[in-house]
Amino acid sequence: MKKKTFIIAISWAAVAVCMGIIFFLSAQTGGESGNTSNWLLLLLRLPISESFLRTAAHFLEFTGLAVLIFNALYQTCGYIRPYLSFALASAYAATDEFHQLFVEDRACTLSDWAVDSLGAASGIIVLCIIIYIFSALKRRRLR
Predicted confidence (pLDDT) per residue in 9-29, tens digit: 999 999 999 999 999 999 999
- The pTM is what? 0.91
Mean pLDDT confidence for 40-57: 88
* Per-residue burial over 63-80, b = 16 or more CB atoms within 10 Å of its CB, e = otherwise: bbbbbbbbbbbbbeeeeb
- The predicted-structure confidence for 65-113, as pLDDT tens digits, reads as follows 999 999 999 999 988 899 999 999 999 999 999 999 999 999 999 999 9
What's the total number of domains in the chain?
1
pLDDT of residue 130: 95
Torsion, CA 36, CA 41, CA 42, CA 45, rounded to 10: 160
Is the backbone of residue 78 left (phi > 0), alpha (psi -120 to 50) or beta?
left
> Residue 111's domain spans which residues?
3-142
